[in-house]
Amino acid sequence: MRMFRPLAFALACTAASSTFAHDAWIEPVDAAYRVVFGHAGKLEAASAGKIRSIAAVDASGRSLAVKAEAGDSPRLAVSGSPALLTLHYDNGFWSKTTEGSKNLPKNEVAGALSASHVVKFGKTVANWGRAVTKAQGQPLEIVPLVADTPHAGDALPVQVLWESKPLPGARLTTAEYAGADKEVLTAEDGKAVVPLVKGRNTIQVMHRVDLVGDARADVLSTSANLIFDLR
């Protein structure tokens, strides 16, 4: 059995270049969607083999069928009108060595200094409504607490959940507010209020837990995002 030991608090880098080093999310493209992987405006192929699940719900919270094209960075066809799309992307094991990082488990890399299992959870809001305020059961997720469409200049109340429980002390960062003074810390109930801007809003949180008795990695490093566009 894989055992976890929680770290003292959720961890997030304060610099934009490190906080948003790499992320995975679902992006609207024309009349469809696609899975995206990258950072700072630089996109890379989202490996099809690392996509664990893609899901969508409509305004009533009903699950919608999602069909993904074959290959990397797949385009998605959603049956119906989605309110929210979710992504589980397992970026695998990354071992640190004196020569850099390798995308392999620690027990497969001679002389590995440390290793992390990196997992990413994405949420993309397509249409605001009650469905958006419902937790989707992701191990780490950011849940908006209002159903009405927010506007640029508003502050969005959210709650961060880890394994379906409120996560206190989690640092929420956004691509638009990269400075440390713009980070928001969640309260004991996992809640926080995040300032919004016009255009793309990307809210991210990171959380790490020590792995006990796992020869492949020392730490489980998870991140979650909440993405939406505002006029």
188: domain range?
A: 23-230
DSSP per-residue letters across 55-118: EEE-TTS-EE-EEE-SSSS-EEEESS--SEEEEEEEEEEEEEETTEEESS-GGGSTT--EEEEE
Q: Look at residue 226 and tell me if it is in a domain.
A: yes
pLDDT in tens, 62-108: 999 999 999 999 999 999 999 999 999 999 999 999 999 999 999 99
Q: How many domains does the chain have?
A: 1
pLDDT in tens, 105-157: 999 999 999 999 999 999 999 999 999 999 999 999 999 999 999 999 999 99
Q: Look at residue 5 and tell me if it is in a domain.
A: no
Q: Look at residue 144 and tell me if it is in a domain.
A: yes
The reply to whether the predicted model has a pTM over 0.85 is yes
pLDDT of residue 8: 34
pLDDT of residue 31: 84
SS3 content of the chain, % helix, strand, coil (to 5): 5, 50, 40
Q: Look at residue 7 and tell me if it is in a domain.
A: no
Q: Look at residue 18 and tell me if it is in a domain.
A: no
Q: Look at residue 177 and tell me if it is in a domain.
A: yes
pLDDT at 7 over 60: no
pLDDT of residue 15: 31
Q: Look at residue 8 and tell me if it is in a domain.
A: no
Q: Look at residue 10 and tell me if it is in a domain.
A: no
